[in-house]
Structure 1
Amino acid sequence: MTKAFNGLEGLCRLLILAAFLLLSASVLLQVFARTFLATAPVWTEELTRFCLIYIAALGAGVSLRTGDMVNVDLLCESLPGRLPWLLRLTSAIVTVLFAGLLVSAAWQFTQVGARQTAPSLGWRMDFLHATMMVLFVTLGLWALMRVYEMLTGRNDGRPLPVSEEL
């Protein structure tokens, strides 16, 4: 199971890199066109927004795993005994439940996008709306993995140290 999650993490990181490179190229094209050409392509701004949304959707699950999301460690870690562990487990379970509940709404949102197109790019919006599916599925999977690792004693629910992350 861990190999599958490591593979998914690698895929997400690769897709984040691809979206970031596309975003960078789009911004560079926009800056170049505004500086040296008479007109700049309008679609670069829309493409940049799409890339940012994909980066956020793909990165949410990975950041949950690595601890890059905002945590309330000051409160949790100051509690006595096993309470910090219990709070981390509870928050992971709640994350799984919320992500699971929102998947069907995200699917409906994605289906609505099939009837819409992006104004300047002309792309079907369901490709953008699918980011909500990606967000909730990956976030739910990583939270489920955290619950599994906590209950089996593989992890205490704290974010992975940088050395384990790589």
Structure 2
Amino acid sequence: MTHPSDVVDADAEAQGDRGRLDTWLDGIAHLCIMVAGVLLVWLIATFGWLVFGRYILNNTPTWVEQSALLCVVYITCLGAAAGVRNNTHLSIDMVRERMPSAWRKAMCHVADLFVTCFGVFMAWQGGLLVLDNLERPIPMIGLSESWRAAPLVICGLLMVLFSLVNIVRRLAPRPKGEG
């Protein structure tokens, strides 16, 4: 026979696990935003240097364009992954919010399944690009072209993680104290 305090303890433990997982996932999303922010500052600074070098020094730094292209890929992919965690990326919910509750829930699952499939595809194809381009250097900066494809793998895996957690959370039974 189960004692009522055992049920309360199990609910509190499950809530604690949810809290730790949310804290961890929110931390990853926040790290993505922070790295993207630092790269955005770097992008702005390097373009400032490009303009200064071109028009003041009459000596254009050739590495800036390739560096900027690399930064833009990381900024975009990290921001997209964080957007999936924060439910702000590709979020068109006008139609969904006008549906009955059961339809809304189903549409949320379908949307998360599409994001999961897209993330798997992106990580897989990005991984193939990483492997195919290990020996090719990026012109002017000398890094491997694989550095351009790496954010696809990172973003794809994070999108899968974040969207699967959304699905599991919706399917999991809620403790009695929660709505």
TM bracket (short chain): 0.7 to 0.9
Of 59, 63, 67 in structure 2, the residue corresponding to residue 43 of structure 1 is: 63
Count of matched residue pairs? 154
User: Which of 1 and 2 has higher RCO (CA within 8 Å, sep 6+)?
Assistant: 1
Point out the structure with max Rg over C-alpha: 2
- Superposition map of 1:1-166 within 5 A: 1-152=21-172
Per mean C-alpha deviation after superposition, the further-off stretch among 102-111 and 40-49 is: 102-111
Between the aligned partners of 2:26 and 2:93, the Cα distance in structure 1 is 25
- Which amino acid is 1:125 matched to? E
Q: What is the CA-CA distance between 1:135 and the residue it aligns to? A: 1.6
What's the TM-score, normalizing by structure 2? 0.78
**Residues 102/50 of structure 1: CA separation in 2 closer, same or farther (3 Å cut):** closer
- Which amino acid is 2:157 matched to? V
Between the aligned partners of 2:22 and 2:173, the Cα distance in structure 1 is 14
Per mean C-alpha deviation after superposition, the further-off stretch among 5-14 and 98-107 is: 98-107
Q: What 5-or-longer segments of structure 2 have no aligned partner?
A: 1-20, 175-179
Q: Deviations over 1:111-138 (max 9, x none)?
A: 1120211111111111121111012111
Q: What is the CA-CA distance between 1:153 and the residue it aligns to? A: 6.2
What is the percent sequence identity of the aligned residues? 19
- Which amino acid is 1:54 matched to? Y
Q: What 5-or-longer segments of structure 1 have no aligned partner?
A: 155-166
- Which amino acid is 1:34 matched to? R
- Which amino acid is 2:26 matched to? N
What's the TM-score, normalizing by structure 1? 0.84
Between the aligned partners of 1:153 and 1:24, the Cα distance in structure 2 is 47
Contact 1:60/1:138 (<8 A) preserved: no
Q: What's the secondary structure of 2:142's corresponding residue?
A: coil
Per mean C-alpha deviation after superposition, the further-off stretch among 106-115 and 77-86 is: 77-86
Per mean C-alpha deviation after superposition, the further-off stretch among 118-127 and 91-100 is: 91-100
Q: CA RMSD in A?
A: 1.7
**Residues 109/37 of structure 1: CA separation in 2 closer, same or farther (3 Å cut):** same
Contact 1:12/1:58 (<8 A) preserved: yes
Runs of 4+ in 1 over 6 A off after TM superposition: none
Between the aligned partners of 2:119 and 2:144, the Cα distance in structure 1 is 25
Between the aligned partners of 1:76 and 1:153, the Cα distance in structure 2 is 22
